[in-house]
Amino acid sequence: MSKIKFWAITCVLAILVSCSQQKRYISYKVKEGETMRDIAERINVKTEDLERLNPDVGENPAANSTIVIPNPEFKKTIPLIQETDENKDKGTETDNTQDEPTTEVDEVKTAPDSTQIVRTVYEYKTHIVQPGETVYRLTKTYNISKSELIKLNPEFPKIKDNLLSVGQELKVKVAEKKVIYISREEDLKNHVTHTVKPKETIYSLTRFYNITKEELMNLNPEFPELKDNSLSIGQILRIRPLEEELTTDSSSIYIDTIAVTDPIKIAFLLPFKAREYDTIASEDIFDVRKSSRSARVANMVTDFYLGAEMALDSIKANGINVDVSVFDTGNRGKLVEKILEDDKLDDKDVIIGPFYSNQVEKVADDVNSPVVFPHFSKSQDEFSSSRIIKSAPDKETHSNFLIQYLNEIYNGETIFIVSDGKEQSNEQLEYLEKEFKKNDSIKNIFTLKPEKGYIKKERFTDNMKPNVHNWVILTSDIKSHIADAINSMVVLPEDVSAQVFTIDKTAAFDGINNNTLARIGFTFVTDNFSDENDSNLQSFIQKYRKRNKDVPTEYAIRGFDLTYDVLIRLASGEDLTDTYKEGVSMRLENKFDFSKKLFGSTSNKGLFIVRYNNDLTLERLK
């Protein structure tokens, strides 16, 4: 059996070593009924600090087990965790007469820079899964519980469903545990790090890197002020271990800056169709049951602008002057030419719209300012003007984002790529297959197209091996084909598991029951994601409802996010496209990560990977 080493976050920044002859940390044998709180109180340290020093021990350690504690005899020149100003003078004297620990931990030499991080290094006994082995057999063989096996192997979540893959290397027992000291400089090299910039917050960092505040605190125990949401400019924070690095970790966060005093001139070109609707009752305009296509467009345009109005209010509340012009482009944008002929857009700093893709190039060719296309269109790939900014990622970007993510997490899965036989679906299938084959680690890729209008379940299951997890990627947007493929995945043999992916969750998936999507771990690429617990989003919803007597739709939030992002970037005093080089911005639901072709338009690559969990919640994976 091989031994695997990895760093488990434990405790503290130790500074200015002045007593290298004494042991800083010693081991302590837990007595019957003692809790971590009891021990912490006895040796006069904080419970949370003691738990950080022993991350693998819960609140109630087992009797006669051994934990690591600070040596009460060691001089108090090195705090367990970096002290704040308010508690530096409180003192940490300890009564050494009761239950004094005697078993010592091996001492490690002082780091060269006199600044040390205490780490607990674990070595594990491992087991390579053989054909026919089960979770139950492993737990009996190594005398551990299933929950312990899951805890030891978080990278294999399917263990909880009793699913193993032949060849998996599982940790089955802690073979050795050592406390060591390394310099903070060396420790940082083992992590993805972030250097705090002005105006950054705990909220913006955790949201950008998709980690929790607790995870950030545990990774950076030398900064206890993180608990109070306090950051310092220039502070270097660990984000995640280097082996868990994501490609998105290399991106920079855009910092909102206000530097202009002159009004920002913005124009909206949207098809309100006021003249056409002048004699029609409002309920008829927006009722999709009476006029589905026309009503959908009316709802989208109106909701987008209501959200944009909220953004204008927020921008003005920040002290930024905005000169707003709103133009009705009429039915399918037929009034755009008249607006251009009247030179009404010549002095604008930015234009949001027009709404129809066939009018965008026309506007871009006639003005000198950026033209922001506000939503996705299949025709946006044809845009060529350098003034055009495509605010929604195209489908190839969706595909590449999923490919990149699956390559990052690939661990021997069998991949099925499924099309509906139509030209666009087949093109996506062929593109995905070609890109996955560039990964030498991926050996088993199957492509499935309908035969006589459907795909038999056996075409999946005949190629699914026991105890090998499967990824099924759907490229279709036809309801019947999607339903057939998903139904085939719901009822599989007991020793076979599958997770279903798609590059875009279109309306064709709306008819699939959420419980079914949760059972197959349905995972999709999307250009928007909302955290229901986000206080900023909750505040926006509350204000929107108060103002418009309705809940905001996806288009309303997009109207807010896009308008706010454009204006706050222009408020920096820089050209809009220049600000895109400075970093990625995340607003309420939308992410703006723009890149510009050398001789073409600017495109947004801001996407998320989202999964349905068993409790029907949506989890952002990337």
The per-residue pLDDT for 295 is: 83
Tokens of 321: 């002057």
> Does residue 335 carry a pLDDT above 60?
yes
Q: Using pLDDT thresholds of 50, 70 and 90, give the confidence band for residue 18.
A: very low
User: Looking at per-residue confidence, does 267 or 49 come out higher?
Assistant: 267
User: Looking at per-residue confidence, does 180 or 139 come out higher?
Assistant: 139
Residue 282: is it exposed, middle or buried by C-beta count within 10 angstroms (0-12/13-18/19+)? Answer: exposed
User: Looking at per-residue confidence, does 174 or 457 come out higher?
Assistant: 457
In three-state form (DSSP H/G/I as H, E/B as E, the rest C), the secondary structure along 61-108 is: CCCCCEEEEECCCCCCCCCCCCCCHHHCCCCCCCCCCCCCCCCECCCC
The H or E element that residue 119 is part of is strand 115-128
Per mean pLDDT, which of 112-121, 388-397, 494-503 is the most reliable?
388-397
Order of strands, edge to edge, in the sheet holding 594-596? 322-328, 264-270, 350-352, 371-373, 388-390, 602-604, 594-596
The per-residue pLDDT for 445 is: 94
* Cis upstream peptide for 354 (omega within 30°): yes
Most distant CA pair in the chain, distance: 92
φ/ψ of 77, rounded to 5, equals -85, -15
Least confident of 158-167, 349-358, 402-411, 430-439: 158-167
Three-state secondary structure call for residue 355: coil
Least confident of 133-137, 501-505, 582-586, 598-602: 598-602
By C-alpha distance, which of 558, 554, 482 is closest to 520?
482
* pLDDT digit string, tens, across residues 284-308: 677 666 667 788 888 899 999 999 9
* CA angle at 303 for the pair 542 and 401, rounded to the nearest 5°: 95
The per-residue pLDDT for 20 is: 38
The per-residue pLDDT for 119 is: 67
- pTM, entire model: 0.72
φ/ψ of 266, rounded to 5, equals -120, 140
The per-residue pLDDT for 289 is: 67
Average pLDDT value for the chain: 83
CB atoms within 10 A of CB 488: 22
The per-residue pLDDT for 56 is: 66
Q: What is the rounded average pLDDT of the residues 240-246? A: 83
> Does residue 79 carry a pLDDT above 70?
no
Give one DSSP letter per residue of 242-303, joined into a string. Answer: GGG--GGGGPPBPPP-----SPEEEEEEE---TTTTTTS-HHHHH-TTTSHHHHHHHHHHHH
> Does residue 226 carry a pLDDT above 50?
yes
Least confident of 113-122, 244-253, 430-439: 113-122
The per-residue pLDDT for 371 is: 96
Give the start-end residues of each E strand in 479-597: 497-502, 523-526, 585-586, 591-592, 594-596
Helix axes 423-436, 395-409, angle to 10 degrees: 30
Q: Using pLDDT thresholds of 50, 70 and 90, give the confidence band for residue 16.
A: very low
Backbone conformation region of residue 502, classed left if phi is above 0, alpha if psi is from -120 to 50, else beta: beta
Helix axes 554-570, 292-317, angle to 10 degrees: 40
Query: What's the CA dihedral at 444, 450, 454, 460 to 10 degrees?
Result: -10
The per-residue pLDDT for 77 is: 38
* pLDDT digit string, tens, across residues 572-581: 999 999 999 9
Bridging pattern class, strands 388-390 and 414-418: unpaired
The per-residue pLDDT for 87 is: 41
- The proportion of the chain whose per-residue pLDDT surpasses 70, expressed as a percent, equals 86
Which residues share a beta bridge with 169?
128
In three-state form (DSSP H/G/I as H, E/B as E, the rest C), the secondary structure along 456-505 is: CCHHHHCCCCCCCEEEEEECCCCHHHHHHHHHHHHCCCCCCEEEEEECCC
CA–CA dist 198, 233 (Å, integer): 6
The per-residue pLDDT for 277 is: 78
> Does residue 317 carry a pLDDT above 90?
yes
Residue 441: is it exposed, middle or buried by C-beta count within 10 angstroms (0-12/13-18/19+)? Answer: exposed
* pLDDT digit string, tens, across residues 190-203: 889 999 988 889 98
Residue written as token pair 């309306």: 507
> Does residue 592 carry a pLDDT above 90?
yes
The per-residue pLDDT for 373 is: 97
> Does residue 84 carry a pLDDT above 70?
no
Q: How far apart are the first and last CA of the chain?
A: 34
User: Looking at per-residue confidence, does 550 or 28 come out higher?
Assistant: 550
The per-residue pLDDT for 427 is: 93
In sequence order, what are the residues at sequence separation of 6 or more whose Cβ sits closer than 8 angstroms to the Cβ of residue 427?
none
Which residues share a beta bridge with 327?
269
The per-residue pLDDT for 266 is: 97
* CA angle at 31 for the pair 27 and 32, rounded to the nearest 5°: 150
Tokens of 216: 């950030």
In sequence order, what are the residues at sequence separation of 6 or more whose Cβ sits closer than 8 angstroms to the Cβ of residue 32?
63
Backbone conformation region of residue 549, classed left if phi is above 0, alpha if psi is from -120 to 50, else beta: left
The per-residue pLDDT for 81 is: 39
